Each structure stands twice: as structure tokens, then as C-alpha cells.
């Protein structure tokens, strides 16, 4: 028997409203009544939580709080606030006139609703974050987990760099020290000898391609910037070398902050988290605060939750599933998951072809969830991912 009405679930877009004959002059505002958001707010006292909940109820939505908030038997409560963008905007407007610093909370919620990392300009290249950028990996090491020894001469490295650019890489990440699990550190002098000749060689003929230097050592970073690198990719997020902050500040260069639970030789023995996403979020939040207080603009900070750097397979997937939570930090997001052990363990293979296919499948999900940079070995696969993803924007 045929149903009386035809219905379907949709992800409402402006075009959907126009298609049904909605007033075009009101579309930009009207769409906010059909987009839903959920926000977690930490450590409100009982009075703040009660006001927030009552304000939410007054707009037709709700806010989940600790069950003892109403009795005052708990000191603090995390809160989960949900609603359409339109409802949340109304909540913010009402909170502006409330005491207990809730006007400040209103501003933060409002900023969160329309998150987008600010455009970053490096030399004359504009990164607008409208689509994901592909970062090709160039390891100049004898012992990296995937391609160690393949490109450890300048000639081999240059040939591979050219191939990645031809395949569609937007930028190249050059590293001279393996940071795979249980790897041992090398001297700074050895690292410099590996990376500087390659950077200089690239810059002899290519002034355009963006280069990031993958290092945790301040001296290497400084020499790489002098040779022509544009970005510092610090896998220790400034923890390894205390001089790294000065290098970033003095050169006013963009920086990638990668979370790691410890140094590579012991990080896989340090996988205890209260909540892996919350813990990494708070860690990166503190690092961003430190950099901005030192004078680094937020649009020059790129965050990386550090897939494989002191995480179990389950924790890595938890991070990927909840990657959108990191958007609230207000920085561009980079993910480096390519060919890593958690993929090998999940699909039980050492085949690079299968690892690259799985990496690309994960990348497609990440791109759809707003990840801004995909750091990968197989660039040509990801040029396809990027082009297909652009069709869904």
C-alpha cells in the first residue's frame, strides 16, 4: 500500500530552500534554522549551568548538565548544548545580558558556530582552506618506517620531489630524522647534512613550491628556513627543543604543532589517556595559547593530533572519528596517517598498494570532515581524493 506522503531525510543546503520556492532574499538567514550543532562546554559552576539550561529551554532546545546541578551538590559540570544555528544564536544573544561571565561564553559559542581557519599567506601563495591541500612526504632517512633508504641521496630526493609535484602535491614535507615508533635520535649535524642540500637544490629552480621542514631541532629548523623552507613541522610541538619557539618568533614562520605522548623511542609505551581526544585537544590548546602570547598569529599555527605518536590503534581511530572537535581550536588541521601501523594492523597487510588504498579511503572521510592538509606518501591517489571531494563542496 502506498504511503499518503512522500518524505526523505536531507542535509539541507541553500539550494534546497530555493528549490521549494523559499524567499531568496531570506535564504542566507533561513538556512541557519536547518543546520544543527552540538557544543560541549567544560567546567561551568552550578549557577552558570542552570542559567545556560534555562536559556536553552526558552529557545526550544535543551542543554544536558550533571544531574546534581539543580541541587548544587556538585561544584562543576560539563554541559552539552544542542540546537539549530538559529537557536544557538538566540541563546548567545540572551546570554549577553547574564552575569557570571556568561556574556564571554556567548562570544565563544558564537565564534565556534562559524569556525573557519583564517587565510594564510606564505610568500605570494594563499592558503584559503576551502579545499584540502596535499602535503607530499620526502624522507631523506635510511630508516623511516615506509620508505627509509629510498631517497637518501640528493639525486633520488630531487627526482621524487619532482614526481610528487607532477602528481599534484601542493607542498613538500622534508625530514632527515626518522621519528617512527622506537626510533633513536640522530645528531643535529647529521640531520642538517641530510636536508639542507636537498632544500637548496629545490630552491635553485623552484621558488614557488611550499616546503616544510620536519624536525624537532631548532638549529635544523633555522638552517632549513635560511635554505628556503617555509614552514616548521615540529613533531614534539616545541617540547623537545626549548629554542624552537625563538626560531618561530624570529622568523615569523608558520608552524605545525604535532601531538606526541613522548619522544619516539618511548612514545608507544605512553598511551594512557583519560579521554584521548580531550587530552590532545587541551594539550594543543595550551600550545596555541603559548604561541599567540609570544606574538605568533593564530592563522600561522597548524595543528596535528599526531596519529601514531603514542596512540593505540583504537585511539588513532577515535581521533579520526572525532576530528571535527579540533576545529574549535580555530587553526588549520593536518593529519598524517599515511601507511601507518594502525592501518597495517587493521587490514593485516604489508602491501603498500593496499595501504595506499586504505589511506586514501580514510583521507576521503577526513576531507569531508574539514581536514585542511593531508600528509601522504602516495600523492597521485590523493589528487584524485581532492578532486572528488571538491565536487561535494
- Helix 85-95 and helix 46-58: axis angle, to 10°? 130
Q: What does the alpha-carbon distance between residue 171 and residue 6 come to, in Å, rounded to a whole number? A: 48
- Decide: 377 and 138 in contact? Cβ < 8 Å: no
- The residues facing 139 across adjacent strands are 175
What residues are labeled active site?
340, 375
**3-state SS assignment for residue 92:** helix
- Decide: 53 and 47 in contact? Cβ < 8 Å: no
**Number of other residues whose CB lies within 10 A of the CB of residue 125:** 13
Q: What does the alpha-carbon distance between residue 80 and residue 69 come to, in Å, rounded to a whole number? A: 13
Q: How would you classify residue 350: left for phi > 0, otherwise alpha for psi between -120 and 50, otherwise beta? A: alpha
Q: What does the alpha-carbon distance between residue 381 and residue 356 come to, in Å, rounded to a whole number? A: 8
- The residues facing 171 across adjacent strands are 135, 210
**Number of other residues whose CB lies within 10 A of the CB of residue 37:** 15
Pairing of strands 332-335, 301-304: parallel
> Pick from 329, 279, 322: which is nearest to 301 by CA?
329
Buried b (16+ CB within 10 A) or exposed e, 315-336: bbbbbbebbeebbebbbbbbbb
Buried b (16+ CB within 10 A) or exposed e, 41-71: beebebebbbbbbebbeebebebbbbeebee
Q: Which residues contact 108 (CB under 8 A, 6 or more apart)?
A: none
Amino acid at each position: 500500500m502506498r504511503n499518503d506522503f512522500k518524505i526523505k531525510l536531507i542535509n539541507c543546503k541553500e539550494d534546497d530552500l530555493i528549490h521549494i520556492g523559499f524567499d531568496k532574499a531570506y535564504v542566507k538567514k533561513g538556512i541557519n534554522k536547518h543546520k544543527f550543532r552540538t557544543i560541549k562546554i567544560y567546567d561551568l559552576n552550578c549557577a552558570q549551568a542552570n542559567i545556560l539550561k534555562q536559556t536553552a529551554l526558552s529557545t526550544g532546545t535543551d542543554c544536558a548538565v550533571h544531574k546534581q546541578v539543580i541541587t548544587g551538590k556538585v561544584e562543576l559540570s560539563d554541559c552539552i548544548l544542542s540546537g539549530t544555528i538559529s537557536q544557538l544564536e538566540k541563546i548567545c544573544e540572551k546570554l549577553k545580558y547574564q552575569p557570571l561571565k556568561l556574556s564571554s561564553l556567548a562570544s565563544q559559542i558564537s565564534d565556534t558556530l562559524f569556525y573557519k581557519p583564517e587565510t594564510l599567506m606564505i610568500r605570494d601563495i594563499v592558503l584559503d582552506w576551502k579545499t584540502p591541500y596535499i602535503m607530499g612526504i620526502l624522507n631523506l632517512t635510511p630508516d623511516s618506517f615506509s620508505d627509509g633508504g629510498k631517497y637518501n641521496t640528493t639525486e633520488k630526493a630531487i627526482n621524487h620531489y619532482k614526481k610528487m609535484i607532477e602528481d599534484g602535491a601542493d607542498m613538500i614535507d622534508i625530514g632527515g630524522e626518522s621519528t617512527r615508533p622506537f626510533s633513536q635520535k640522530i645528531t643535529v649535524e647529521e640531520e642538517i647534512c641530510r636536508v639542507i642540500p636537498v632544500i637548496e637544490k629545490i630552491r635553485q629552480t623552484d621558488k614557488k613550491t611550499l616546503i616544510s621542514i620536519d624536525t624537532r631541532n631548532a638549529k635544523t629548523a633555522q638552517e632549513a628556513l635560511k635554505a628556503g623552507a617555509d614552514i616548521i613541522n615540529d613533531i614534539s610541538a616545541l617540547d623537545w627543543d626549548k629554542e624552537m619557539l625563538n626560531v618561530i618568533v624570529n622568523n615569523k614562520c608558520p608552524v605545525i604543532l604535532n601531538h606526541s605522548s613522548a619522544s619516539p623511542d618511548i612514545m608507544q609505551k605512553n598511551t594512557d589517556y583519560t579521554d584521548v581526544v580531550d587530552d590532545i585537544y587541551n594539550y594543543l590548546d595550551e600550545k596555541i595559547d603559548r604561541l599567540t602570547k609570544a606574538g605568533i598569529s593564530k592563522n600561522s599555527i597548524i595543528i596535528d593530533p599526531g596519529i601514531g605518536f603514542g596512540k593505540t590503534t583504537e585511539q588513532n581511530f577515535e581521533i579520526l572519528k572525532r576530528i571535527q572537535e579540533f576545529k574549535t581550536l580555530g587553526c588549520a588541521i593536518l593529519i598524517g596517517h599515511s601507511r601507518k601501523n594502525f592501518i597495517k594492523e587493521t587490514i593485516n597487510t604489508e602491501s603498500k598498494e593496499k595501504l595506499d588504498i586504505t589511506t586514501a579511503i580514510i583521507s576521503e572521510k577526513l576531507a569531508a570532515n574539514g581536514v585542511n592538509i593531508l600528509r601522504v606518501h602516495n600523492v597521485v591517489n590523493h589528487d584524485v581524493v581532492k578532486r572528488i571531494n571538491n565536487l561535494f563542496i
